[in-house]
Amino acid sequence: MAERKPITIDDKILKAQDEVVKAKEKYDAKVAILEELMAKKKAMQNEELLKLFANSNRSYDEIVEFLRSGMTEEQLEKVTQKRRGRNPKK
């Protein structure tokens, strides 16, 4: 029967390093997939936002003011009607 060579600490370190490298490669691949999916979602949201803007009866300035101010839809409606010379709905 052949005598077994004992596993040295250096062998264990090399094995652990190899496992870490493989795990890192797997992790990096998963992160790349996640980033790609998040970019696709953002592109879809941007496209939806542009469609909503194009089909809106609001002006560019009204939409920008709304987004910057944090107004509610009702507050925006009051400001819009006031600008257009109408009395806001109560």
Does any domain span residue 5?
A: no
Q: Are residues 51 and 63 in the same domain?
A: no
pLDDT for res 87: 59
Q: Is 75 helix (H, G, I), strand (E, B) or coil?
A: helix
pLDDT for res 4: 82
In what helix (H) or strand (E) does residue 8 lie, and over which residues does it extend? none
Q: Are residues 49 and 65 in the same domain?
A: no
What total number of domains does the chain contain? 2
Q: Are residues 28 and 62 in the same domain?
A: no
CB 66, CB 76: distance < 8 Å: yes
Does any domain span residue 74?
A: yes
Give the integer Cα–Cα distance in Å for 63 and 69: 10
Q: Are residues 61 and 25 in the same domain?
A: no
Q: What is the pLDDT of residues 51-82, one digit of tens each?
A: 999 999 888 888 888 888 887 888 878 877 87
pLDDT for res 1: 58
pLDDT for res 2: 65
Does any domain span residue 47?
A: yes
Residue 72: CB atoms within 10 A of its CB come to 10
Q: What is the pLDDT of residues 26-60, one digit of tens each?
A: 999 999 999 999 999 999 999 999 999 999 988 88
CB 87, CB 81: distance < 8 Å: yes
